[in-house]
Amino acid sequence: TGQLPHLESAEPEKIPEAVLRGEHAGGLLIGDAALRFSQSPQADRFLIRDLGQWWKEQESLPFVFALWAYPGEKPVESALFEESLQEGLQHLPQIASESEFSFAEEYITDLLHYRLGKQELLALQRFRERLLALDLL
């Protein structure tokens, strides 16, 4: 803890083999690559941690995976963001049906949240505090 790891970028499908060969101590897979790997036979050979679950266990706060951000001095049509959000929310079942993962609908309807509430804002503040404490921000 408290140390910035050495980072290298690689194709997601090459990361597990590089770790098994001892070329790296570990790897980070995100998105579909992580979901695919977690369902592969090879996954049993690794300790797998879901970052959202880990953060919630450590901080008792939700994990904010992403947010829309833009420079405050730039004019932005906020209605565009809201319309995009509403369009996506209205089509969650269709979006899930196009996924290769059987759990996609539950994941995007029950586990993900699409608005920043009080708990999410607290989580972002906590994340910032941790970065500052490690001199990473």
Over residues 26-75, the pLDDT tens digits come to 899 988 899 899 999 989 999 999 888 899 999 999 999 988 887 877 77
Measured CA to CA, the distance from residue 115 to residue 113 in angstroms comes to 6
Sequence-ordered list of residues with C-beta below 8 angstroms from that of 39, at least 6 positions apart, any chain: 101
Side chain identity at 26, as an amino acid letter? Answer: G
What's the pTM value of the predicted model, to 2 decimals?
Answer: 0.74
Average pLDDT of the chain?
89
Burial of 25 (0-12, 13-18, 19+ CB in 10 A): exposed
Measured CA to CA, the distance from residue 85 to residue 120 in angstroms comes to 17
